[in-house]
């Protein structure tokens, strides 16, 4: 497993080093007076996406019960993406926040509820390739996740907490076309953590023991063999004037195993989002008439 971590870190370091060497300042101009690069001929709008998702969740958390649970899930999200300043035509970054909640019941009896709540903050950076009507993205992301699963019927162990910090791979493909003469972008975005750390108590460890001060072994190293997550978002973005309507489908798969405790969570979500691109302008500094706009996605 150590070899795996080293390999992942090497790949990430190599990628970012290559980025530093390979950057090209598209749209920038060189100012000989100040010996600096001016970027005022380049506008990088921020794409803000506010989303609501609804669907189903299928959860198994063997610390709480050996049974599978299924039920309804909902999520709220905010995502902010922008072309990056150092090489805007090739690199984009995205910052996202997401709140997930699910109300599920034990199968097949369905007489005990399991609540699932989680909060996620993530940041990604991807290289972009434009090929005709296609855009391809590949890069990495890092994410902080925290949450809990709660079974009120379990009097002595009602909660299983979850927390992780991960670094992983991100990739996307987008196809730009039109629908009824309105710009349409179809995109598939995939994310998968490759390494990181996560919280996991031992097999029968009570949270009371943790409360008493025993924190040994609570933080584990993550790799896809013990901490597998995959998130795929298939979306269609239709531009309606200055607003963008996003419809989509998200697949979330999470399967974590530590100390013989398994936590599986599979979610299928319908996505509805409103997005817009905006530019921050200074009243004292008008953009250049030659300014070029580079969107993070469109």
Partner 1 sequence: MKALRLLLITLLALLPATLGLTGCHSVESWDNDYYGNFDALWTVVDEHYCFFREKDLDWEAVGEKYRAQISPDMDMHAFFDLCSDMLAELRDGHVNLSSWFAVSYYREWWSAYPQNFDWRLIQERYLNFDYTTAGGMSYALLDDGKVGYCYYSTFSAPVSDAFINDMFLSMRDAAGLILDLRDNGGGELTNVERIVAHFIDEPILAGYITHKTGPGHGDFSKPYPYSYDPVSAGVLWLRPVIILTNRSTFSAANNLVQVMRRLPNVVVIGDRTGGGSGAPLSSQIPCGWSVRFSASPIYDADMKLTENGIDPDLHIDMTPESIYEGHDNILDKAIELIVSLDSGTSDNYTLKSAIHQ
| Residues at the interface with partner 1 (CB under 8 A) | 60, 62, 64-68, 106-112, 129, 131, 136, 138, 153-157, 171, 190, 192, 202-206, 208-209, 211-214, 216, 224-225, 228, 230, 253, 255-257, 259-260, 262, 264, 266
Shortest distance in whole angstroms from residue 252 CB to partner 1: 12
CA distances from 275 to 175, 184, 222 (A): 18, 13, 33
Nearest to partner 1 of 42, 258 (CB atom): 258
What is the C-alpha separation between 261 and 264, in angstroms, rounded? 10
Q: Answer whether 111's CB lies under 8 Å from 129's CB.
A: no
> Contact at 8 Å (CB) between 169 and 160?
no
If the CB atoms of residues 128 and 246 are measured against partner 1, the closer one turns out to be 128
Closest distance to partner 1 from the beta carbon of 205 (Å)? 4
Question: Shortest gap between Cβ of 225 and partner 1 (angstroms)?
Answer: 6
* Token pair recorded at residue 188: 């598939």
Q: Name the residue nearer to partner 1 (CB basis): 82 or 135.
A: 135
Nearer to partner 1, 147 or 201 (CB): 201
β-pair partners for 130: 135
Shortest distance (Å) from residue 240 CB to partner 1: 31
- The residues, any chain, with a CB within 8 Å of residue 75's CB and separated by 6 or more, are 51, 52, 53, 54, 98, 99, 100, 101, 269
Cβ neighbors of 82 (< 8 A, separation 6 or more) are 44, 45, 46, 47, 92, 93, 94, 296
Hey, CA dihedral for 146, 99, 278, 187, is it positive or negative? Answer: positive
Asked whether the beta carbons of 104 and 190 are under 8 A apart, the reply is: no
Q: Which is nearer to partner 1, 51 or 124 (CB)?
A: 124
Pick the closer one to partner 1 by CB: 35 or 111: 111
């Amino acid at each position: 497993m150590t070899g795996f971590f080293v390999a992942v870190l090497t790949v990430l370091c190599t990628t970012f080093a290559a980025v530093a060497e390979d950057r090209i300042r598209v749209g920038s101009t060189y100012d000989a007076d100040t010996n600096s690069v001016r970027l005022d001929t380049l506008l990088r709008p921020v794409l803000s996406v506010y989303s609501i998702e609804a669907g189903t969740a299928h959860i198994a958390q063997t610390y709480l019960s050996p049974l599978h649970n299924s039920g309804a899930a909902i999520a709220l999200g905010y995502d902010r993406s922008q072309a990056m300043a150092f090489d805007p035509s090739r690199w984009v970054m995205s910052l996202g926040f997401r709140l997930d909640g699910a109300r599920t019941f034990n199968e097949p009896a369905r007489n005990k509820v399991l609540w699932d709540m989680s909060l996620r903050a993530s940041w990604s950076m991807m290289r972009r390739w434009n090929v005709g009507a296609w855009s391809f993205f590949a890069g990495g992301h890092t994410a902080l996740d925290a949450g809990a699963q709660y079974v009120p019927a379990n009097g002595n162990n009602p909660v299983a907490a979850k927390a992780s910090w991960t670094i992983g791979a991100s990739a996307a493909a987008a196809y730009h076309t039109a629908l009824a003469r309105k710009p349409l972008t179809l995109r598939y975005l995939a994310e998968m953590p490759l390494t990181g750390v996560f919280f996991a108590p031992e097999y029968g460890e009570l949270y009371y023991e943790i409360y008493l001060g025993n924190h040994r072994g609570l933080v584990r190293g993550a790799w896809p063999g013990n901490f597998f997550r995959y998130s795929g978002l298939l979306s269609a973005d239709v531009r309606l004037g200055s607003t963008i309507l996003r419809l989509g489908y998200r697949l979330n798969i999470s399967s974590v195993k530590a100390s013989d405790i398994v936590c599986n969570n599979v979610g299928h979500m319908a996505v509805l989002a409103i997005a817009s691109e905006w530019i921050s302008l200074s009243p004292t500094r008008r953009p250049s008439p030659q300014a070029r706009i580079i969107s993070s996605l469109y």
